Amino acid sequence: MPTQTPAIVESQQFLTLKLPDATSVMIQSHQLMEVLDIELSSITSIPDVHPSLLGVYNWRGEVLWLLDLGLYLGSKALYETSLNQNKANIVIIRHNDSTLGLAVDQVIEMNKLSISDIQDLPSQDLHPMFQRCMEGYYPSPSQEIIWLINTPELLESISVAV
């Protein structure tokens, strides 16, 4: 009688974030560098850039661009809905040699998910930038849709905007 080998289920860690309009997004943990809570006064604004670029921040001696992720993806700006107008939650991501700080409304939690649970993007109408920067979604047990950020695509699209 042949023995059956169990199916290998690949899983990864994901950090879940909330955008100002309550949309949930997640990022793969291996693309995550650090999570910061910074004073808005420590951000240096840069003129004549995309409106979603908040400016730059001195992070460990590096100049780090900060992006209002919700506004960039076609949603509300962080300052429109944030309860704390003086601070921002910044999630620093990296892919290859590109680093970016994402300003989000809330950092929720880290979850381990099976890769097979990630669904392809729906064919429904999504904001063009949102669709470009997402690679799929996770339908959570609570029926919430959590969108998976395509980090390489997000970083590439930002390099064009800067």
Per residue in 14-29, pLDDT tens? 999 999 888 999 999 9
Q: How many domains does the chain fold into?
A: 1
Examine residue 157 and state whether it is found in any structural domain, yes or no.
Answer: yes
Say which CATH number the domain at 84 has.
2.40.50.180
Task: Give the gyration radius of the chain's Cα atoms.
Answer: 17
Indicate whether 58 belongs to any domain. yes
Distance of alpha carbon 42 from alpha carbon 52, whole angstroms? 17
Per-residue pLDDT tens digits for 100-157: 999 999 999 999 999 999 999 887 788 889 999 999 999 999 989 999 999 999 999 9
| Domain-embedded: residue 150 | yes
**Domain carrying residue 150:** 13-161
In a domain, 2, yes or no: no
Beta strands per DSSP E along 22-122:
24-28, 32-39, 53-59, 62-68, 87-95, 98-104, 106-114
Contacts of 138 (CB under 8 A, 6+ apart): 14, 26, 113, 117, 118, 119, 145, 146, 148
Which residue bears the tokens 């979850």? Answer: 111
Read off the pLDDT of residues 51-81 as tens digits, 9 standing for 90 and up: 999 999 999 999 999 999 999 999 888 877 6
